[in-house]
Structures are given as structure tokens and as C-alpha cells.
Structure 1
Amino acid sequence: MNPTRRTVLLAAAAATMLPASRATAAPKAAAALQPYASYWYPDSLPSGSPGTGITWRSLKSWRAADDPDLAFNAASVPLAPRFTPTPANPTARSGQARIQSLVSFGPTSSNPSQGAATADYYAFAHWAYVDELVFWGGSSGEGLILAPNAPIVDAAHRHGVPVLGNVFLPPVAYGGQLRWTRDLVQKDAAGRYPLADRLVAVAAAYGFDGWFVNAETGGGDSALGAAMLGFVRELKSLAAARGQRVTWYDSMTVNGSVSWQGALNSSNQAFFEAADDMFVDFRWTASSLASSGTCAEQLGRSRYELWAGVDVEASGWNKSVNWDAIVPSGRTQITSLGLYRPEWTRNHLPATRTPEDFHAADDRFWSGRSLDPSQPDATDSWRAPAVSVADRSTVTAVPFASVFNTGHGLRWYEEGTVTSDRPWNHLGLQDRLPSRQWVVRTEGGDGSGGARPSVGFDFADAWRGGSSVLVDGELDAPTVLDVYATRLPIGGDTVVELTHRTDAGAVNVELAVATGEPGSAGSTPPYVYLPVNSVNDWQTATVRLTGLTGTIHALGVRLTAAEGGPVRWRLGGIAVRDAVETPAAPTGLRVTAASGGDLRLAWNPAPGAVRHCTLHRVLPDGTRRFLGGTCQSAYFVGGLQPEQGERAARFELRAVGELYTSSAPVSVTHTW
């Protein structure tokens, strides 16, 4: 990888990804309690002393039983199965090119395990187009092996996307030392690779899905190349036995040197065969990708196990790309696509950016200039993923519910009421989000019958969590918003609940339900429209599916302006259920460590299906203040202060079910 990209990663990540958090502002005693995402060197540590806020650790000496932060870092959401509905447009393919996304969510060190008190975060929402997420990062001064933090894994798994940790052996120019490569591939007395076993153990304990191996430290020889090949083979064998994956980056060659090929060829073929797939360096050409695809098939592998790298870190959708070399229009796609650093959609915005600014940019990147996957803009030089790759969905079981929580917000809402006015981010609290952001169909089905209102996540108000979906603009024709592609069985008691509110104008609302697929890619699902009462305050309407049987394939809403003028309408929640289900309560809530106003809490998980847990502080006047939520069974809160006259703080924990029903609370007090 070239110096510009690496310089940005090492020098700017800490400054741009996580603005001053509670951890960086807290005293030293609190820093000892604040858990962070884990990172290691393979074995030997650098000379000297680590910088402020950095902890040097050896992976070889790691053991799950000795990991004090494991409860905060272990993901809990299983990888969900996905299905592919009829594509949103005629050019989006299924079963061909896939997308790997290499993202730096935060700095290597001081990356909080469970979110932070800022809404300024890469709260990715377009999981439907991604097949593999790489938790990118690492540096010679902090650590080279990164385990993704739990909220990212939980969000990705909820959308059916596996997540890989990163093994980064940096170029010598950026502090790389060949001894770290030798440490990684060392053998024990039995001829095994102990660090391969350790990597697999970390992924199993932390709940993620494997490793991206990027060996870029030059100076090696054929013996080191052979050792690396043996290491990757053993890593894949051990990983496969635990349901994990290994991706190899096109850097080190079989002779031990670092020479980026931009192709699958004799210099790296053995590594590709040893791994599950390979990221092809950015040096590719149309001919080298064509030959690479052919080579993969000659090896009995799929050409789509090759990710053709596209570097968008510096210019995002302004990047000039030979798209026809990867995902040509009108013929079979050549390879898969590897997007390097798409968090550009957040980072290129000014420091005053809002969550709405980020999601608008992310929509432009993933859906295209039209902002509608069903109507791509053929004049757009950026071939957005939605143009070429069919979206996927994990909405397959009842009960299903979403409050359109993106995993960050300016406040926290519960039933339309603010229960915390602090900004926050925690991707583990993200809902299963709509796979097509945003398909809007006006009368006639192709958008030709009326003006298109703006649609997007909005953070000025919400029913629950931090966001709602806002439809804003003129409705000069009946307008259908596709919300979810689903495979939900309809029973005799199945109902759909729609929580909504009209902020401006007058609008008639109908629930759109389709029990079959559209006749062709890009066409409207065969919706049946069921009336919903119009309201000016948050209200949940319960709609019976009278006369409908089989399976729900799509859910949407149809909005018709009752009067002239613009309309502002919010969708705060949707649920499909047969019965109301309330989870059991967790037990054993306890404070496991304390330093002033900084606490670690832990509890025993509630039995049965639980979406996440929420933690509130009960104030002396009896009101509850939201402190945070998590999918784990441990949580850190920092910076608490006694209320006036308060001798002990009281905390309540609740389990939250799939339908957002909450259990009875379990409580604990902490004496100041």
C-alpha cells in the first residue's frame, strides 16, 4: 500500500475517528477501568516505552481466562442468515461480484469497547451490499493485530455480515520490523504454529469471524515465504474448524519478498489457495483482473473470491475507477470488489458535521447520485454498489421489529420522550436497517408520476433510540416508500404495528404489504394497501393482515397528501408479531470495580431471546436517566456525580426483547 494511505492511517486516525471521549478526558484512575478494543504484537515488543494511552501486549501470552476486558469485548449476536430478494434494479446482480469493506472505525489504541459519548461516528447503515467487513488498523507503535470491538461485530452479524480482525505487518518505512513477521510464523517443538492457534482462539472468544492477513514488511527470503505459507495453511485449517475465515492480502510473495502484484499469479497463487480469498492490490488492470479470474477458475475456485481493491480513502465517489474491469454492465462480472476506507463518507465532511450529514453522504456513496437504488443515474461516474450488487436481508422470522436506530444519536428517546440528552454512539444497539435506502415510488411505479420527497434518517426526534425515518417534501402523487424486504410467515394472529407521526401538512397513511416478489428487477412489489389512521403525535397503529396468507415479501408505506403543500412525516417503528412477548429479567447486577464516578457493572444474562440490555440511573425524584445499552453482560459508565443530597446512586437494568418490550428491572446501589 502506498505511503499516502499508510500515513493517513497512522497519523490521522486517532485525531479524526473519535473526538475527545470520556476516556481521554478522565483521570488516570478512570483510564484503568475504561475498557478498550484489544490489539497485540505477535510476540516480542518494541524497544523503549509505549506512548501515552498505549498498552503493549503479546498475542503469544494472551489467554481468554486472563483477559480482564473480555466481557466488554466479546460480541454476542450470532451471524444471521441472509436471502436475496428480487434486485432493486436490472443491473444489480446476485451470485456474482461481492463487496469487502476495509474500515478504520477508530484508532488502534484508546478505542472504547462499547461506544462513546459522541454522535460523530461511522455508523454504517448499508450492510445489505457488504459480504465481508475488515476491521482495519494497526501501527508499529501501538500494535499490529486488532480484534474488532463488539458493537461493530454485533451490528454486522445482525445484518448477516462476517467481520475479520486485522493482522498488519507494516512496511519498514512505517516502522515495520521483520522480527515481527518471524514472530508470527514461529513454530513450536512439534512443528506447529502457536500464533495461528492463538488467532483462532481470540476470534472464538471475541465472537468474530476470522482474520485478514496483510504482510507488508520487506526484506524476507524464500525460507520466510515458506514459513508464512505454512502459517496461513494452518491458520485456515484451524479457522475452518471453528467456522472462521482467512483473507490474504496481495503483498508478500512466495519467495518472501513484498511485491504487490495487482493480480492472481504464480507469485501469490499459493497464498490464495491457502486462504479463503484474496484482496488484489490496487495496481490491477483490466487485463490482470481478467486473467486473475480465469486463473482462479482453473484452480477450481470462484473468481469472486478475489477482491479487486479500490482505494476511496482520499476521494470517495470522486475516485476514477475502471468499473467495467470489475463489474461491467451487460455482461458477467469479472471479480469481487474490495473497498478500502469507505469511511471517507464521514471523514471528508467538515468538523461541524451532523449525523444527518454523514448519512446523506453515505447514501450518495452506496446508493448513487439518484439516492434511489431502483432508479440509478446512468450519468453518474461513480458506479455505486447498489447499481451492481443485489441487496440482501436478514428479516426472516416473527417477531421482527425496528425503531430505525442507526447506532448513534444526539439524544436517547424512549416512547418519544428524551431520557438522556447526551450524544452517543454504540453500533451494537443498531437495528436491522432497511436494505434499500431509499426506494421511493410515485404513482405509476417508476417515479414519473410525481416529485420525489427527501427520505433519510433524522436525529431531531425519535420514538426509541436516536433516530427515525423522515419523509419531507411535496407529495403531488401517492408515494410508496419501500421499507423492508422480508420473508415473514403470516399466521392467524399476525399483525403489523406502525409507529408514526405527522410533523407538517396532512397525509393519509397506508401500510403496504406484499406477499410475493415483483415480476422483474426494479419493479414494484405486488403491494396490498391497508389503512392506517393519520396522527399528529407519536402513535402506534396495529394493522391486522385480514385476507392475507403465505409470506410477507415486502413492507412499505403509501403516503397521500390530504391537502396541498409540503409534508413532514416520521416513521418511528415497525413490528410484525403474532403475540406480545416480554423477556425475562437479567439477574445478579453488581458493581465489579469503581473509581470515583467510574464504574464497571456486570450481570447474569436473562434466559431466552434478548435484543440488548438498557441501564438507567434512578434519580432522587424517581425519574430515570438513560446511561447506556449493550448486547454484552458487562458495561462501563464514567464521569458520574452524586446528585444533591444523594448518598448512594441507584441503577436499574432491563432486558429488551425483539419487540422492544422490557423486562422487570434488576437494581443495584453504589455508595458515594
Structure 2
Amino acid sequence: MAGAASVAVGAAAVFGEAVASADTMSVVPELPAGVPSLHGYDAPAIKAWTPETDPFAKYFRSRVPLAKRIRTFAPTQANPSLTPNPQLLSLSNDYVEPNNKVVMHPYGDSFNAYALRFWQYLDTFGSWHGLPTFGQIDAPDPHFGVVNPPNPTWTDAAHRNGVLSLGAWFWPRDPDEFAPLVERRPDGSFPVADKLIEMATYFGYDGYFINQENQFDPIDPAEALLLQEMLGYLTRTAPKGFYVQWYDAMLLTGVVEYQNEFNTKNSPWIISDGTRICDSIFLNYDWSQERLQRSHDYAISLGLDPLQTVFAGTELAMNMFSQPEDPRWIFPEGMPVRTSWALFGTDFPFTLATGDKNTVEGQRQAYVYERQLWSGPRQDPAHAGRLLPPTGTDNANPERWDGVAYTNVEKSTVGCYPFVTRFNTGTGQKFFLRGRLASEQPWFNIAIQDLLPTWQWWVRKADGSAYEGLNVDYDYDLAYDGGTSLVVSGALAADAAVELRLFKTWLPVRKDVELNLTYATGRADAESHLRVGLTFADSPTKVTWLEVGKSNSRGWNHRCLSLGCYAGRTIAALSLGFRSTTALNDYGVHIGALSVQTADRRDAPRQPRGLTVDGTHVDGDTATVYLSWVLSRNGVAHYDLFRVATGANGTDGAAAAGTPTAGAPAAPDGRQTRPKREWIGRIFGDAFVVPDLKRQGTETSTCIELVAVSPLGVTSRAARTTFNWTR
């Protein structure tokens, strides 16, 4: 069994050389190959936890702060009649990468991983995973922890979209006695609760989903009461914004007895004698209209808001698009919403699709299913709603599903300058920088996912009706920054004005505000047939169109449009428009970047400090490199990492497109040389693990560069370090 002692010993073994005397500090430790997996924690490991003794903890931190969401504004909603008050929680797996029953990687060098594209409907995301304790991943019968933190890169993406991120507690993960988890000190404090808060603070997440569900071995009633007391202590002691949700399973008697509604038996897990225990409850799935109404009324009788406190659960992992409990019962037509909503298993579209997930085509159907899950069977949030009755034997049929957009309001964090998106979805088969290919290595890393369109896809004619001639998707073959661009293709009818509504915003315009668009048509001197649309809060039924004009390049074109003439007004939505005087049957345009910014935010960040090789693993001509540096939040959106190509004379090189790197070698005529750099990673943080780095020729050392990048893409001068291929 891997308890506190094994974690501490493991950490010492892994990082032992890092604490050597000063004269040996240049020798980096030998660390495991590949990006480390997160692990779970049992009671002894939780109680003994510190960042210093938790192996690889520094590489599992989310450093992206929780973004503030903008005000709701009904006129720009896909369905203006919806109320924004109901909350939505997703309890789900993360990447669904192969073998993720026991592993949870923050990022990696594979394309076979799922990245959620629909944060805009969620208020809370819980990482439902389960992980072995440290050192147990490869065991024949691994020992699982009771608690697993959320994947930090998913926390990054969640926070960027204003969504809370929760870790998970699940019993029975641990065959040991339950008592160590609920140990209470003489002063009334709980060591496990204190450490859970400390872990969440260090790793950067927002709370826990508590699933106490041992159906076959009831907990002692006294220990069940201690758990209730501990959760109340956790809620009272945690910092502001900390969130705890309870699953409708165990009663105070220690016996699991699902209530399927909020009532006197499970309410003590939420409030007891006026003391708040948990923030909300996830109701088990077997609810009805009557049970939901009773839950609503009972919450009010306790002085609780049912839309903040009670979440009716929907079992997507098992039932997918065909649900025995109709979600419309939560949102009865013509009546107040009864409760909020919780979804279990929103990752099912990726497993439902049967293609080869290592290919774009193999993943394409998965993301069609995902759009149908969130936007409805027509993949259009403005026309959500099922086409067949909700319950049937064909539970993989999206026509039985309304789509989340049918009942829940889309939300946004686009409320300050600069707003920038390059339509990077968080996975790729290549990586591009400034429109140039920077790596041909497949990758996944949702931590660097951009803010994606609020509506996927809301394509309409001038009269508001749906337009079906154009297809919208993400393209993996061509991108401006990251792994994907937005591609619009299909047919344009003559003189048909088509709008693709993209982002919900709340951007007050000043004199110095400008909009920048990067696009490619594939033809120089070609009419783009492209417009940018602004919907202002003071006139929400009208779109103000700005013409983009002709392309001046076969590659990426850049247009800067001043918005100063609209100063004093507020942009409530951003759109793209498409119009041609003649019919076009083969129209196509790629959108590489879109930003709304002030004209004075173009400063380069400072050169990164403290770039260090923490350790390596070299296996022949392949290496894993563990890196860290000093994080700066001043004007930095993310950090990019590069390996510098070795020249024929054994010298390393300078920066790729952009400012030459400081200290780059000089050519014989005195000019700086500019050999290629290969992109090897991106993160907003202070640590990164580069897996599968290939040795070039007979090089004995490799130079790695770190560049800080501003929100507008301005790069700092590079910091440099090297590692040796021989020890």
C-alpha cells in the first residue's frame, strides 16, 4: 500500500540529486521518461502532504486565475427567453487518452485526446477520474486514492472561461478503515480537511465533489457524523470562493440510500441546525417532475435558493442522448425552473465515435456528437430542441436530445481588453507560430486552448433564419497560432447576406480601440467576401458591418479596423459576415486570429528568469527534459519553449520568425545567423516537461529557449539553458 511514507521515500529517490551540495548542483537528476501522470491520495498521503514531498507536484499546478464572466444580456442570446439563473455542472473524464483508467497526463505528444470545446454553458467542472496512489500506476492491482485533484490543464481552460474546477473524493477507493479520513484533533480541527484546502490552494483548483458511496459496506454512524462535521469545517475554513458539492448517496446513518430528491434525509449534508455543510447537492438520477418540485419547495423552506443548492443529475455516460428522466422536467415550460442541472459523463461523444482517434477524420464524428450534445441535434444553438421523443432504445441517436443550449444560457468572459483568440482548440497534429509551421509533432494540451466561439455554430440569414449553405469547423492543417484555425466553406447564394455569430461580449468602446482580423483565402488579390459584424448593446437587433476587402496574399492577410468612431457604445456580440454578388459554390476562408484591443498594448514582456533543467531522462537518442523558471504575471499570456537546431559546425541557432535571440552566433560576415527553432511546448506556469525530444545527429548537448509571450503575441527576448546527452 502506498501511504505517506512511500510518497516521501519516492520523492527523495526521484529528486535526491537536486539537493546535492553546491559543487554538484550542475549534475541534474535522472527522472522518469515521459510526462508524469498525476496520482491519487489516500488518508496517510493526504495528512502528510507537502509540495516538497509530493513527486512532480510543481508540474501539476494550474496558474490561470478564475476569469470574471460578463453580465448576461438576453437580446444577444441564442434563445432570448432563457433565464441565466440555473447553474450547470459537468462531472466528467478529461482527455480520454488511452489507458486513462490509471493515468492522467496534463499534456502530451499525441493527438489521441479529447478537449472540451463548450465551457460557455458550464459554471462548474468536476474531474471524475480516480487515480492510483504514487508508485501504483503499473501495479497489477493498483491501490487507488480516495481523492484525486483535477487535471491542472483542464483547470487552466476552465478558469479562462470563468468555470470552477473541482477535485473528486470517492469512497470506496481505499480498502483501509474509514476512520483515518475523519480524524478530529482535540481542538476540533480535521487534518484531512486542512490538507485538502492546502492542496487545492497549491494546485490552483476550487473545491471538491464528494461521492461517499460504499453500497456494500456501510460506514459506522459515528464516523458518518464525523464526515458531516468535517465537511462543515472544510466549508467554513476554506478561502472565499471554495466550493463543495455532495452526491445524493450516503445518509447520516452511514448507509447508502439514494433519495433522488432533496429532502429531510439528505439535507443535513447541505445545512444542519443552521450551519452550512456543503454548497450544493447532486441528486441521484431517478427523479421525476414531482420529486423535482418537492426538492425546489423544500430548499425554499430551508431558506436556500434551489438553483444554487440543488442539481438534478443526468447520466450521460450510460444513457447518452436518450434519457429516462426528461431534462425538460427541470425546466418546465411556462413555469419557474425547479432546480439546477448536473451532467455526468460529458466526455461520451469521444468514446461514442468509433474512428481512429489518432486521425482528424477519426475524431471528426466525435466533435459532431459534442456539438449535438451542447447545441442540439442541428448543431445550432439558436435552433436547439429534439426531433424525436426523449426516450428510446437508440440512445446514441442525437435526435432524442434537446441540446444544453435549449435550456441553458451561454456565458462569456469577453469583457476587457485585449480580447484575443487564435481559435486554438487545445489539440493538434502540428503547431504553428505567426502562420508558420513550428513543429510537426502531434500534441494535446487544453491549458493553451483559446477562448472559443460562444455559439457553435449559429449561421443565419439576414431575416434570422438558419443558413445551411456554409459549413463551419476547426482546421488542423492550417493555423496561425496553435494547432487549428476556423474554416468556413461551402456555397454562397448571390446577394445572400450570411452571418456567423461568434462571441458574446461586453466591450465598452473607446477612441483607441481597434479590431484585428487575420484570415486566408488561398488566393492573392481575391475578394474575401468577408465582413466583421458588431452588435451594440444600445441596438441589439442591428448588426453594424465592416468590410474586410480583398486579399493581398495567398497566405495570411491582416486587417486592422479602427473602432474609434463607435466610442461610447458597448459591443455585445462579434460576428463574421459573408456576401457575394454572384453565386459561389466553392467558397472557403480560414480565420487565423481575431482580436479587439487598445492601440497602446504592444509592449514585449521581460526576458524570463531562472530557466533551469531540473532533470532529464535519456534513452539512446530520445530524451525527457524537466524544466522550471520564475513565473511572471506582468503582461505574460503564456510561455513558449523551443529547442534550437544545431548547425553543421556544432553551433546552436537563434530565434525563428521574429526578434533574433540575444547571444545568437554570428555568421562569418558578422551578421547573426537564424537557423530553425522547433517549438516543443507552451504553458502559462513556471514548469514544464518536454517528452520525446529527439537527438539531432551526433550533438552532445541541446540548447532550449524559453520566450514569454504577451496577450497580443509580442515575444520577449529568449532565456536559454542546455542539457547534455551524456551524463
Is the Cα–Cα contact under 8 Å of residues 440 and 482 in structure 1 kept in the other structure? yes
CA shift in 2, pair 1:602/1:278, >3 Å: same
Cα shift at 1:406: 0.9
Match of 1:391 in 2: 410
Q: How does 1:580-595 map to 2 (within 5 A)?
A: 580-595=602-617
Match of 2:255 in 1: 257
Match of 1:115 in 2: 107
Match of 1:358 among 351, 363, 366: 366
Other structure's SS at 1:460 match: coil
Other structure's SS at 1:445 match: coil
Cα shift at 1:378: 5.4
CA shift in 2, pair 1:517/1:253, >3 Å: farther
Match of 1:568 among 588, 591, 601: 588
Match of 2:349 in 1: 345
Match of 1:301 among 285, 301, 304: 304
CA shift in 2, pair 1:315/1:29, >3 Å: farther
Amino acid at match of 1:569: V
Distance 2:535 2:67 in 1: 23
Cα shift at 1:647: 2.4
Match of 2:472 among 413, 436, 455: 455
CA shift in 2, pair 1:374/1:632, >3 Å: same
The answer to whether 1:61 aligns with 2:48 is yes
Residue by residue over 1:377-427, the C-alpha shift from the partner in whole angstroms, topping out at 9 and shown as x without a partner, is 453431211111111110111111110111111110112221111111111
Pick which of 263-272 and 140-149 moved more: 140-149
Cα shift at 1:186: 1.5
Is the Cα–Cα contact under 8 Å of residues 137 and 168 in structure 1 kept in the other structure? no
Cα shift at 1:135: 0.7
Is the Cα–Cα contact under 8 Å of residues 513 and 528 in structure 1 kept in the other structure? yes
Distance 2:642 2:489 in 1: 34
The answer to whether 1:128 aligns with 2:120 is yes
Match of 1:88 in 2: 77
Residue by residue over 1:416-466, the C-alpha shift from the partner in whole angstroms, topping out at 9 and shown as x without a partner, is 22111111111110111111111112132223xx54411122212111101
The answer to whether 1:104 aligns with 2:99 is no
Is the Cα–Cα contact under 8 Å of residues 584 and 607 in structure 1 kept in the other structure? no
Residue by residue over 1:477-515, the C-alpha shift from the partner in whole angstroms, topping out at 9 and shown as x without a partner, is 121111211112222221100011124895411111122
Distance 1:629 1:616 in 2: 9
Match of 2:180 among 155, 179, 183: 183
Match of 1:323 in 2: 327
Match of 1:491 in 2: 510
The answer to whether 1:545 aligns with 2:553 is no
The answer to whether 1:278 aligns with 2:278 is no
Structure 1 stretches lacking a partner, 5+ long = 1-27, 44-57, 520-524
Pick which of 263-272 and 531-540 moved more: 531-540
Match of 1:75 in 2: 62
Pick which of 418-427 and 352-361 moved more: 352-361
Q: How does 1:613-632 map to 2 (within 5 A)?
A: 613-621=639-647, 622-632=675-685
Match of 1:152 among 134, 151, 154: 154
Cα shift at 1:30: 5.2
Is the Cα–Cα contact under 8 Å of residues 102 and 340 in structure 1 kept in the other structure? yes
Match of 2:531 among 496, 501, 510: 510
Is the Cα–Cα contact under 8 Å of residues 352 and 366 in structure 2 kept in the other structure? no
Match of 2:597 among 574, 577, 582: 577
Cα shift at 1:29: 6.3
Q: How does 1:390-539 map to 2 (within 5 A)?
A: 390-447=409-466, 450-476=467-493, 477-503=496-522, 507-516=528-537, 519=540, 525-535=541-551, 536-539=554-557
Is the Cα–Cα contact under 8 Å of residues 97 and 327 in structure 1 kept in the other structure? no
Cα shift at 1:467: 0.8
Cα shift at 1:178: 6.5
Match of 2:190 among 190, 193, 208: 193
Is the Cα–Cα contact under 8 Å of residues 451 and 475 in structure 1 kept in the other structure? no
Match of 1:16 in 2: none
Is the Cα–Cα contact under 8 Å of residues 92 and 389 in structure 1 kept in the other structure? no
Distance 2:265 2:573 in 1: 47
The answer to whether 1:642 aligns with 2:634 is no
Structure 2 stretches lacking a partner, 5+ long = 1-28, 132-141, 272-276, 388-398, 648-674
Distance 1:650 1:517 in 2: 54
- Residue identity (%): 27
Match of 1:207 in 2: 204
Distance 1:150 1:531 in 2: 41
Query: TM-score if structure 1 supplies the norm length?
Result: 0.88
Distance 2:492 2:34 in 1: 52
Amino acid at match of 1:376: A
Is the Cα–Cα contact under 8 Å of residues 457 and 467 in structure 1 kept in the other structure? yes
Match of 1:232 in 2: 231
Distance 2:190 2:146 in 1: 18
Other structure's SS at 1:374 match: helix
Distance 2:475 2:688 in 1: 27
Cα shift at 1:469: 1.0
Amino acid at match of 1:337: W
Match of 2:292 in 1: 289
Distance 1:401 1:644 in 2: 39
Other structure's SS at 2:694 match: coil
Distance 2:196 2:33 in 1: 25
RMSD, aligned CA: 2.1
Distance 2:34 2:327 in 1: 48
Other structure's SS at 2:199 match: helix
Other structure's SS at 1:128 match: helix
Is the Cα–Cα contact under 8 Å of residues 381 and 458 in structure 2 kept in the other structure? yes
CA shift in 2, pair 1:546/1:493, >3 Å: closer
Is the Cα–Cα contact under 8 Å of residues 585 and 606 in structure 1 kept in the other structure? no
Other structure's SS at 2:558 match: strand
Is the Cα–Cα contact under 8 Å of residues 589 and 666 in structure 1 kept in the other structure? yes
CA shift in 2, pair 1:637/1:407, >3 Å: same
Match of 1:219 in 2: 218
Residue by residue over 1:548-573, the C-alpha shift from the partner in whole angstroms, topping out at 9 and shown as x without a partner, is 12222211111113543221111111
Is the Cα–Cα contact under 8 Å of residues 37 and 109 in structure 1 kept in the other structure? no
Distance 1:30 1:604 in 2: 21
Query: TM-score if structure 2 supplies the norm length?
Result: 0.81
Distance 1:358 1:503 in 2: 28
Distance 1:346 1:85 in 2: 32
CA shift in 2, pair 1:142/1:569, >3 Å: same
Pick which of 303-312 and 84-93 moved more: 84-93
Cα shift at 1:358: 2.8
Residue by residue over 1:89-137, the C-alpha shift from the partner in whole angstroms, topping out at 9 and shown as x without a partner, is 447623332211001115364322x301122222111111001100112
CA shift in 2, pair 1:31/1:299, >3 Å: same
Distance 1:220 1:384 in 2: 39
CA shift in 2, pair 1:252/1:410, >3 Å: same
Is the Cα–Cα contact under 8 Å of residues 533 and 544 in structure 2 kept in the other structure? yes
Distance 1:93 1:42 in 2: 44
The answer to whether 1:267 aligns with 2:320 is no
Cα shift at 1:182: 2.2
Distance 1:518 1:71 in 2: 49
Match of 1:20 in 2: none
Other structure's SS at 1:594 match: strand
Is the Cα–Cα contact under 8 Å of residues 507 and 560 in structure 1 kept in the other structure? no
Pick which of 246-255 and 546-555 moved more: 546-555
Is the Cα–Cα contact under 8 Å of residues 509 and 564 in structure 2 kept in the other structure? no
Cα shift at 1:343: 0.2
